[in-house]
Each structure stands twice: as structure tokens, then as C-alpha cells.
Structure 1
Amino acid sequence: MTTPTGFAELQELVLPALANHHGTLFAGQGLQLMAKAAFLAARSLVQREVVMAAVSRVDFVAPAPVGHALTLRAWVSRVGRSSMTVCVTGSAGLPGTPPELVLQGLFDMVAVDAKGRPIPLDCAYLNQEPLL
């Protein structure tokens, strides 16, 4: 199965090394995984390097306990001159149970050149409809 451009999916097992003192996914670890998913989705769409410019919103909706499988899905929802907005959701659950939404956020990513400066995106991406 081929992953569409502008979309990324990551899976991670919530292990004790990713957990806080309550035995659930530590918020900082969750944010790091969400940022990785946003990066991969943005880069897959524009086929060039990108960096994170902002995190508009992150919601920790529910705890993800140790032992749960975490699935992160990211997709580009808006494309501007050199920036993109990437939506990220995270669902977690045990085998045989329906996954529950545990994380969601909006990330602003910017296409950059070799010196890290913003560069315009190809006209084909501008003002496109949301991918998902």
C-alpha cells in the first residue's frame, strides 16, 4: 500500500521509557512524536526540507497508558506560499479494542533552502483543497 503525499502515519508502543510517573504517555514525548509525524507529512508533499515554525494547538485528550499502541496520523490541510498547516491526531488502544483519540494538534511547517531560509513552494500546491 502506498502512502499518499501529504500524509504520514506512525505507530509507537507506549513503553515505560515514554511514560510519566502516572504510567501514561509523557506529554513531551507525545509532542515529539506529533512533531515527527507533521514533519514527515509536510516533507512528503513538497519533496524538500521543511522546518517547524509554530504549534498552533495541541490537545492531550485522554491518557495513553503503558502497553497501548499509539497510532499518529498527519496530513497537510493548508498550503501557502512557503508554509503548510499539518493536522495530527493520535489514537491509542490495546489489541482487540477500538482505539481512542488521545492527542490532536496543528503544526505550521515551512519549506526551507539549504541555509534554512523559507522558499516559495511550487504553484501546484498553492490553494489546493485539503488532502483528507
Structure 2
Amino acid sequence: MTTPTGTVELTEIVFPAEANHYGTLFGGNALQLMAKVAFLAARSAAARDVVMAGVTDVRFLAPVPVGHVLTLRAWVSRVGRSSLTVCVNGLAATLGSPPEAVLQGVFDMVAVDAKGRPTPIANAYLNPEETP
């Protein structure tokens, strides 16, 4: 199976600077990483700049302790005239442990022109068989 256009993976390690007072990934930093990977996926699929229009759903399924590796995978699940929906899943792992689902989110992105106005996405077509 080929990776569909608009699928991106981002891998980060959780350092103390990104942690809260419990020694786990601070929610605001998790949201920032999820927004970044959603942006990259939407930009890839739209082949143009995009901005975030909204966040439909975010779930913090489990804490991510300092030292764990966080892998975020984003894929475009819907392409409209100028908007895209991007799903994000996050898995965390440490050496010797299987990855655990820790984050989920759905982001609404909009393709924009040089002036920041919504603009149509050329060839706005997503093959449903390409959904990861």
C-alpha cells in the first residue's frame, strides 16, 4: 500500500521543558505538535499554504512521560473546495515497550492565497481507498 498524499509522520521526544509539574507532556505542547503535523499534512495535500480554521475534537488518552518518544501521524480525511479535514493520532513509547495510543484530534484547515484569503484547492479529490 502506498502512503496517500497528505499523510505525514512527526516524531519527537518529550523533554522536561515540554512537561508539566507531573513530569508528563503539557497539554498545550501536545496541541502545538498536533497542530503542526495537521498543518504539514494539509499543506501537502492542498499543495499550497493553509491555515487552521478549527479543531473539531481533541482527546488526551494517556499521559506521555518525559523521555518517551511521541509519534504523531496525520492524514487528510476530507477535501472540500477550499477546506480539508485532518485526523491526527499520537503514539508514545519508550525503549522496550510497545507504542500506546495517547492523543487523537481532528483539525479543520483552509487553503489560502498570498493574501490569506480562502482559495480553491486544485484537483480536490481524495481517493477513499487511500485512507490509512
TM-score in terms of structure 1 length: 0.93
* Conservation of the 8 A alpha-carbon contact between 1:6 and 1:131: no
Residues in 1 aligned to 2:52 and 2:12: alpha-carbon distance in whole angstroms:
21
State the aligned residue count: 130
Cα RMSD after superposing both structures? 1.5
Gaps of 5+ in 2: none
Residue correspondence of structure 1 range 1-132 to structure 2 within 5 A: 4-122=4-122, 124-126=123-125, 128-129=127-128, 131-132=131-132
Distance 2:36 2:80 in 1: 21
* Structure 1 alignment gaps of length 5 or more: none
CA distance in 1, matches of 2:60, 2:29: 12
- Output the CA distance in 2 between the equivalents of 1:77 and 1:45: 10
Shift of 1:125: 2.0
In the alignment, the residues of structure 2 paired with residue 109 and residue 69 of structure 1 have an alpha-carbon distance, to the nearest angstrom, of: 26
- The one-letter code matched in structure 2 to 1:83 is S
For residues 30 and 78 of structure 2, the distance between their equivalents in structure 1, rounded to whole angstroms, comes to: 23
TM-score by length of 2: 0.93
After superposition, give the CA deviation of every residue in 1:35-93 in whole Å (9 maximum; x if it has no partner). Answer: 00000001111110000000000000000000100000000000011000000011101
